[in-house]
Amino acid sequence: MAKTLRQPGIFGQLGWDTYTVVVLGFPDQPGVQQDEVMAALDKAAIKLLEAYPFLAGQVVKR
């Protein structure tokens, strides 16, 4: 049985099942405490997971 070739994904992945992780970094702002930054990141992560609950799941390949 012939296997068809898949086209590359939008980030240039080839025909394999891959995932692209994007991380953005920003410098600290003067006068902002680390606790404030962590609280804002936690709040943003919860908001993201509420909008896209499948991001909180676990990938199982059988």
The verdict on residue 45 lying in a domain is yes
pLDDT in tens, 4-13: 656 666 666 5
How many domains does the structure of the chain reveal?
A: 1
pTM: 0.51
The verdict on residue 11 lying in a domain is no
The verdict on residue 35 lying in a domain is yes
Nearest-angstrom CA–CA distance, 2 and 24: 41
**Closest CA relative to residue 56, chosen from 40, 42, 43, 45:** 45
SS3 helix, strand, coil % of the chain, rounded to 5? 35, 0, 65
pLDDT in tens, 1-59: 566 656 666 666 555 666 677 888 888 889 999 999 999 999 998 998 889 887 777 76
Instruction: Give the three-state DSSP class for 48.
Output: helix
The verdict on residue 8 lying in a domain is no
Amino acid at 36: E
How does DSSP classify residue 31? T
Q: Which domain holds residue 36?
A: 31-57
Q: How many CA atoms lie within 13 A of 18 on its CB side?
A: 12
